[in-house]
Amino acid sequence: MLGDLGTFAIVLKKCRLPEAKQRFLSVVSNALFRVYSYFMHLILPLLASLLFVCGLIVIKRGGAAGVSPVTTLFCTNIAAAVAFSFVWFLGGEAIRWDLWWQPLIIAKLFVFGLAFTFLALERGDVSLATPIFGVKVVFVALLLTVSGEQQLPLQVWLAAALATLGIGLIQWTGKGHRHHVIFTICFALAAAACYATFDVLVQRGAPIWGAGRFLPVVYWIVGVAALLLLPWVDFGPCKKQGVAGLLIAGSLLIAMQAICIVVAVGLFGDAARVNVVYALRGLWGVALAWLAAKIWGGAEAEHTRSTMLLRVVGATILTSAVILAIVAGE
C-alpha cells in the first residue's frame, strides 16, 4: 500500500488536471500516506502491546490449570506459522535460497524468546515479568551500536541505569518466593535479549527479501521447529472445562501480537522506535494483570497494595528508560 500511495502521487503530477484540483488531490494523497504511516508505525505496536499482555494473562490462567509451557509453546508456534502465511500477500523478491541461513537463525531466536517468556510466566506473575520484557528496547539500542549502525549516546547509558532501577523496584516484592522472582527476571531478560536480536536481524533481512517473503519463511521454520516438540506435548489438561479455550485464545493472541510488531519492523525497519511504543506493555502488564486477578483470581490479587505500587513505579521507570533510549537516537 505504501508503494501504491507513492505511485498515485507521481501519477497526479503527470496528469493534466486543473492546477487547483491537482493540488487538492496531492494534499489528500500525502495526508493518506501520513495517516497510513502513523497507523503502521505507532498503532500496530500499541495494539501488539495490549494483545501481548492479554495473551500472557490467558496463558497464565491456562498454566494454572495444568497446561505445560511446552504445550503452550507448541500451540503458539503453530498459530504464528499459520498467521504469518497470510503476510505472503504483501509481496517481495523471489525466495533467496542462497541466504537460507538468515530466516533459520531468526526463527531460532523467536522460538527461544517465546520459550523463555513462558518459563518466566511459569514461576512469576504477569505484572512481574511483563515490565522486564521492556528492557528489550535498550538491548536493541546496544545491538545497533555494537553492529556499527549507530553511536551510543550518554542518554542510552542513563536509560540503562534507569532500567536497572526499575527492575530492582519490580523485584522488591517483600518476603517469600524470592527465588521465584529471580527466576522470572532472569528468563524475562533472556527473552528480551532474544527478541532484541530478532528485531535487529529482521530489520536487516526483510529489505533484502521483502517483508512478504522473508517473514512467512521465518515462521514456517518456526512451525517445523514446533513439530519437534510433539513428544513432550500434553493435551491432557485440556479435557478440563474451559482449559482448551484458554490455550487456543492465548496462542492466537500471542500470534496476533507477533504479526503486529514484526510486520511493523519488517516494513519500516525502525526497530528502536517501534519498540518504544511496544514497551508500554510493561504498564499494561501491571494494570491488566491486577484487574484480571481481581475478577478471576490470581497471585496479583493476593499482593499487598505497597507491592503492587512498587511494581507500578518500577514499570513507569522502565517505560521512561526505554522512551529516553529512543529520544536519544533521534
Q: Give residue-wise pLDDT tens across range 38-78.
A: 556 678 888 898 999 999 999 988 988 899 999 999 999 99
pLDDT score at 1:
44
> What's the rounded Cα separation, in Å, for the pair 275 and 284?
15
The stretch 186-209 carries a mean pLDDT of 87
pLDDT score at 229:
94
pLDDT band at 110; cut points 50, 70, 90 = very high
Count other C-beta atoms under 10 Å from residue 237's C-beta: 17
- For the chain, the structural domain boundaries read 46-328
pLDDT score at 208:
80
Tell me which of 126 and 85 has the higher pLDDT.
85
pLDDT score at 176:
46
pLDDT score at 46:
84
4 has pLDDT over 70 = no
Give which of 326, 281, 323 is closest to 52, Cα–Cα.
281
pLDDT band at 174; cut points 50, 70, 90 = very low
Angstrom CA distances, 271 to 24, 42, 143, 197, stand at: 34, 12, 11, 10
The stretch 272-297 carries a mean pLDDT of 77
Count other C-beta atoms under 10 Å from residue 106's C-beta: 27
* Cell numbers standing for residue 176: 517469600
Q: Which percentage of the chain shows pLDDT scores above 70? A: 75
120 has pLDDT over 70 = yes
Q: Give residue-wise pLDDT tens across range 124-155.
A: 777 678 778 877 877 877 787 777 655 656 77
> What's the rounded Cα separation, in Å, for the pair 324 and 134?
13
> Whole-model pTM?
0.75
Q: Where are the alpha helices (DSSP H) in 39-100?
A: 44-64, 69-84
Give Rg (Cα) of the chain.
21
pLDDT score at 175:
45
The stretch 195-204 carries a mean pLDDT of 87
pLDDT score at 8:
46
Count other C-beta atoms under 10 Å from residue 94's C-beta: 8
Query: Residue 19 class from Cβ within 10 Å (0-12 exposed, 13-18 middle, 19+ buried)?
Result: exposed
pLDDT score at 73:
94
pLDDT band at 28; cut points 50, 70, 90 = low
pLDDT score at 231:
93
Do the Cβ atoms of 188 and 56 come closer than 8 Å? no
Give which of 300, 328, 17 is closest to 144, Cα–Cα.
328
The stretch 190-210 carries a mean pLDDT of 86
251 has pLDDT over 90 = yes
Mean pLDDT score of the chain: 78
pLDDT score at 178:
62
170 has pLDDT over 70 = no
80 has pLDDT over 60 = yes
Do the Cβ atoms of 206 and 269 come closer than 8 Å? yes
